[in-house]
Amino acid sequence: MDFKLGEREELLRKSTREFAESEITPRIEAMEKTGEFPMDLLKPMAKLGITGLIAPPEYEGLGLGYLARTIVLEELSRVCAAIPMGMQVHHMAIAALNDFGTEAQKKKYIPPLSRGETMGCVAVTEPSGGSDVLGMQSSAELKGDKYILNGRKCWITNSHTSDYWIVIARTGEGPKGLSAFIVDKDAPGAKPGREEHKFGLRGANTGELVMDNCEIPKDNLLGQEGGGLGVALKTVSESGRTGMAAVALGILQACYEEAAKYASERVLYGKPIAALQAISFYVAEIYTQLDICRLLCYRASWMKDQNMRFDTESAIAKSYTCEAAAQCAKKAIEIYGANGITLEYKVQRLLRDAMVTISAGGTGEIGKVVVGRAALAPFQKKG
Amino acid sequence: MGEPQIWVFIEQRRNVVHDVGLELLGKARELANTGGARVAALLLGDGVLPLADTLISFGADIVLVADHPALEPYRLLPYTQVLAEACRTRQPDIMLFGATSLGVELAPRLAARLKTGLSAHCIDLQLDADGHLLQMVPGWGGGVVATIKTPEHRPQMATVMPGVMQKPQPAPRSGQVIPLTPSEDLDLSGPRVLEVHREEPQELPLETAEVVVAGGFGVGSPEGWKLLEELARLLGGAVGATRPPVDEGWASEEQMIGQSGKTVRPRLYIGVGISGMSHHVVGMDEAEFVVAINTDPKAAIFEVADLAIVGDQREIIPLLLDELRGRVKVS
Amino acid sequence: MERVIVCVKPVPDPKVWDRLRMDPVTKTLIREGIPSVINPLDRHALEAALAIKDVSGAEVVLLSMAPRDARPVLREALAMGADRAVLLSDKAFAGSDTLATALILTEAIRRIGPFDLICCGNYTLDGSTAQVPSQIAEFLGIPNIMHVAHMELEQDKRMVVTQKIEQGYVKLAAEPPLLLSFTKKANKPRFLSFLEILAAEKREISTWTNTDLNLDESRIGLGGSPTKMADMLLREKGRQGLRLEGSPEEIAHQLANKIRQLGFI
């Protein structure tokens, strides 16, 4: 097994890190205050290649794989997790279009997303539940050459900043009764609803989408009628989970750096506290979790790049990394002592950001449902 | 040509001699006295002849003057040409330049034209038993000094940062003033000066301050930096910096102390949040009394400190300011 | 403009400088485990060249005299947008002082071919002499300007160059061929776009040895260097090295006392 990353990955990492440190750091204070996504960063991110990272070159993307994407999202997140949160959902929209779209749809919708002219979002969750996908109530009815959509989606990342929404709605009964649609935000009857004020990932825009007799062209059906569950599952389990895991991984990296740095600087009893075994053990624990999660995230992404089936591995990576990030952020705050609970230090933001990742893009429990199924499958008794 | 000659390039702008030329005349005089050599000052410009007497009083036995309208302001190619010809005709043994922005551009070009050796940022110059120039330059990590020699090529050239050598006291002396007349037309090719803009220096010059409060990356923030500025003000001193504070924008490039910055020799140096890497230390380790504050007990700065404080400057400096304010004598 | 050559040097990453150690026996730097980066000022030189390429389509060629393990650093510089790189690597070059180094680089430049501009960083972080660019220009017989804080390209290849001097600046008018040494103030180096990172994988890094340059061995390496290292000594210290301990209040109190004792208050 070759665990070494190539020159390409190292350069992607280096470039993203420099960009994040230089261009994103100054924006954090405003994002924390207002919760708004800095839209003017879209252009420089597009110029770097972040917005169109996984889109195929024929749709003005870079055609890079998921390992590259994970590294880029991780480096962005190391500085500020809210930005790659928005970007990873944007990639999900691109992935859904690329996997299920017709040539005409791909040509129309992917290039503006690649170029960062607009953002994309994927809308599955409703007030009736996110984990309970089949319980959704949003409906879509074919009337002539239009679909009429009715319903509300909530907890949608990029709800208010996206021009294109990938919406799942009911066209029939049962699991084969869901369909996916491309909704332009300017479509009649479509509009964003309330905005959520989260305590973490502030700057990642989260809110509601409202469809009130929303009319979209018939041609905006994405994939087959009745194939919506497949669109949702593939998008969430592939680009969604690996994206969320990468965001949490970057937070974990920041936890490690903050903890190690502080432990090496803070002097008590005439020495840096890193000299105390207990503190060094905490740092060791964070470092170990970081190493574990990096291996999980990179492995899942690598498998996608090899065209292997990887939904169990992506579920493990997502649920484990988000939980680990929160635990390590808590530890890092404790290493900071009293300073850890002040807003002056960055480390409190890491805990708030990590907590929000735990239930975003699939709860930890759903992750375990997926993994449990796979773990038990070989032992199932027939009949 | 008889005795060996030690030449010093005298930088002047608008007929004001840069102190570094006088510092180097002092050093050249010292070297000449031990080795039995003569010291010559090289003066180029327009209407600079009146400066010659000053240079003699600072130690020059000879002043070689090239006085020509085309030599003001300084331009690299004509200056290189005049100096190269003077070197070829008179064959000096040693030639010294201040490592100013001008010197650092001119000296290497001249060395290449003469195909001789040049060492940069020397912190000391000596003569060995054979009369060769020993050029001491700071070496890499860990506080070493490398001794460079130019055994075969002449002149032996070296640049020295301003402030490293002591400016001598002028004394009544006699000397010769010899005009340099170039044998061919001046090379006036190359970039043309459109404008020369000089700003007034703002604060107390670092190089002559009695107290220097220097900050490094450990100062942590612009607010922390302001406290250092206050400490310097209280003590009647100047503020210096290592490279990271300059990069962060807390201090200006002119405040940087070190191998590629300024050399300071204050009576009191207080280093705050400075790790003490050799390329900074080389710019301050001639200070009389060194106090260092750093959270890392293994910081290299403690090797050159008289008073070593392992602690967090964020806590200590405000408390120190309080203590000192209570004690400032009202004058 | 048609061709701009940029001299690039890999140096130890300044972020890990305090890990650098000297081998007490050989008196050379222990470089193992220390990552190399593009000399920071060279990035500003490269950015200036790329800005010219953006408007004129000029070819940007990187030139570096370094060991073979410099390839990743050159790849990174190519990923900034340069077109190709020439790496000069030969045991015979080792030990060269600035004069010999300038000679080697000059010969390589002659073999690269005609150029309009040569861009260098004002000094390198490791050697710090700032001598090589002036010496290359001298050998090539072209003018050079150091301490460049700003460069503006006007029509007909004319340039207005702002040179930073102590407490001020000088504005100069110049034409190619010319060599410029850049400071940090000159520009903001661009980020490596992912597109360029991918494109750079196909760009050429040619490695040349002295067989390609055909320089007389007496003019390069240790033998070709007029300056020779005679000795390396540890600096004499002689400091009191007293430790002040206690709480921040106690420390501040004792330090204030000492300052008063020295007569500064």
Over residues C193-230, the pLDDT tens digits come to 999 999 999 999 999 999 999 999 999 999 999 999 88
Amino acid at B250: W
For the beta carbon of residue A373, count every other beta carbon within 10 angstroms. 13
Average pLDDT of the residues in A56-82 = 98
Which among C75, C76, C191 has the least Cβ separation from residue A48? C191
C75 contact A CB<8A: yes
Chain B residues 292-331 with CB within 8 Å of chain C: 300, 302-312, 315-316, 319-320, 322-324, 327-329
Contact C195 A49 (CB under 8 A): yes
As beta bridge partners, residue C64 has C87
pLDDT at C151: 95
pLDDT tens-digit readout, B154-189: 999 999 988 788 889 999 999 999 999 877 788 888
Positive or negative, the CA dihedral A28, A31, A37, A40 is: negative
Contact C232 B275 (CB under 8 A): no
Query: How many whole angstroms separate alpha carbon A367 and alpha carbon A319?
Result: 6
Query: How many whole angstroms separate alpha carbon B55 and alpha carbon B47?
Result: 15
Element (H, E) at A8: helix A7-19
Determine what percent of chain C is predicted with pLDDT higher than 90: 70
> Which of A22, A261, A262, A267 to mutate to probe the B interface, most B CBs <10 Å?
A267
**In whole angstroms, how far apart are CA B105 and each of B72, C43, C147, C157, C165?**
16, 20, 9, 24, 11
User: What residue has token string 């030329």?
Assistant: B21
As beta bridge partners, residue C88 has C65, C208
Query: How many whole angstroms separate alpha carbon B8 and alpha carbon C31?
Result: 38
Chain CA centroid to CA A25, Å: 20
Which among C129, C245, C248 has the least Cβ separation from residue B120? C129
- Eight-state DSSP code of residue A363: -
Residues of C in contact with A65 (CB under 8 A): none
Positive or negative, the CA dihedral B307, B313, B316, B318 is: positive
The conformational region for residue A161 under phi > 0 = left, psi -120 to 50 = alpha, else beta, is alpha
Element (H, E) at A280: helix A277-305
Residues of B in contact with C29 (CB under 8 A): 140-141
Chain B contact residues (CB < 8 Å to A): 295-297, 310-312
Query: How many whole angstroms separate alpha carbon B107 and alpha carbon B118?
Result: 8
pLDDT tens-digit readout, A90-117: 999 999 999 999 999 999 999 999 999 9
Contact A14 C72 (CB under 8 A): no
pLDDT at C19: 66
User: What residue has token string 């100054």?
Assistant: A26
- Eight-state DSSP code of residue A166: E
pLDDT at A246: 98
Query: How many whole angstroms separate alpha carbon B168 and alpha carbon B160?
Result: 16
Chain C residues 174-193 with CB within 8 Å of chain A: 191-193
pLDDT at B139: 67
Nearest Cα residue in chain A from B312: A267
Query: How many whole angstroms separate alpha carbon B250 and alpha carbon B224?
Result: 9
Residue segments in chain B with a per-residue pLDDT below the cut of 70: 1-2, 139-143, 201-203, 327-331
Query: How many whole angstroms separate alpha carbon C181 and alpha carbon C42?
Result: 9
| Residues B294 and B302 sit within 8 Å (Cβ to Cβ) | yes
For the beta carbon of residue A134, count every other beta carbon within 10 angstroms. 12
**In whole angstroms, how far apart are CA B155 and each of B175, B207, C149, C168, C185?**
22, 29, 32, 32, 35
| Residues B227 and B201 sit within 8 Å (Cβ to Cβ) | no
| Residues A81 and A250 sit within 8 Å (Cβ to Cβ) | yes
pLDDT tens-digit readout, A239-277: 999 999 999 999 999 999 999 999 988 888 878 899 999
**B: neighbours with 3+ CB pairs under 8 Å?**
A, C
Residue C22 has pLDDT above 80, yes or no: no
- The SS3 assignment for B80 reads helix
Residue C260 has pLDDT above 90, yes or no: no
User: What residue has token string 């005089």?
Assistant: B29
Contact C172 B267 (CB under 8 A): no
Cα Rg, chain C, nearest whole Å: 22
Contact B295 A265 (CB under 8 A): yes
Query: How many whole angstroms separate alpha carbon B302 and alpha carbon C127?
Result: 25
Q: Which residues have C-beta within 8 Å of that of residue C43, sequence separation ≥ 6?
A: C77, C80, C121, C189
**C: neighbours with 3+ CB pairs under 8 Å?**
A, B
Query: How many whole angstroms separate alpha carbon C25 and alpha carbon C28?
Result: 8
Amino acid at C256: A
**In whole angstroms, how far apart are CA A216 and each of A165, A187, A333, B183?**
12, 6, 49, 88
Residue C233 has pLDDT above 80, yes or no: no
pLDDT at C132: 96
pLDDT at B35: 75
| Residues A68 and A76 sit within 8 Å (Cβ to Cβ) | no
C191-228 burial, b at 16+ Cβ within 10 Å, e below that, comes to: bbbbbbbbebeebebeebebeebebeeebbbeebbbbb
Amino acid at A182: I
Strand pairing report for B156-160 and B94-98: parallel
As beta bridge partners, residue B269 has B212, B290
User: B318 vs chain C: nearest CA distance in angstroms?
Assistant: 9
> Which of B323, B325, B327, B328 to mutate to probe the C interface, most C CBs <10 Å?
B323
- Give the angle subtended at the CA of B193 by the CAs of B188 and B198, to the nearest 5°: 140
pLDDT at B200: 73
| Residues A115 and A52 sit within 8 Å (Cβ to Cβ) | yes
Question: What tokens appear for A291 in the block?
Answer: 């190493």
Q: Could you give the strand order of the β-sheet that contains B238-241, starting from the edge strand earlier in sequence?
A: B238-241, B211-215, B268-272, B289-294, B307-310, C242-244
pLDDT at B331: 36
Pick the residue with more confidence: B212 or C260?
B212
Question: What tokens appear for A117 in the block?
Answer: 């002219």
Give the model's confidence band at C246: pLDDT under 50 very low, under 70 low, under 90 confident, else very high: confident
pLDDT at A330: 97
pLDDT at B327: 58
Contacts 24+ apart (CB under 8 A), A29-34: A31/A80, A31/A82, A31/A202, A31/A203, A32/A202, A32/A203, A32/A349
As beta bridge partners, residue C180 has C119, C145
Task: Give all strands (DSSP E) within A273-376, no chain letters.
Answer: none
Contact A11 C195 (CB under 8 A): no
Contact A266 B311 (CB under 8 A): no
Nearest alpha carbon to residue C265 among A230, B328, A213: B328
Contact A12 C193 (CB under 8 A): no
**Helix, strand, coil fractions of chain B, as percent rounded to 5:** 35, 30, 40
Strand pairing report for C242-244 and B307-310: parallel
| Residues A59 and A97 sit within 8 Å (Cβ to Cβ) | no
Task: Give all strands (DSSP E) within B14-132, no chain letters.
Answer: 16-17, 38-45, 62-67, 94-98, 118-122, 124-127
A47 contact C CB<8A: yes
- The SS3 assignment for A160 reads coil
Residue A46 has pLDDT above 70, yes or no: yes
Element (H, E) at A28: helix A28-34
pLDDT at B329: 45
Query: How many whole angstroms separate alpha carbon A201 and alpha carbon A32?
Result: 8
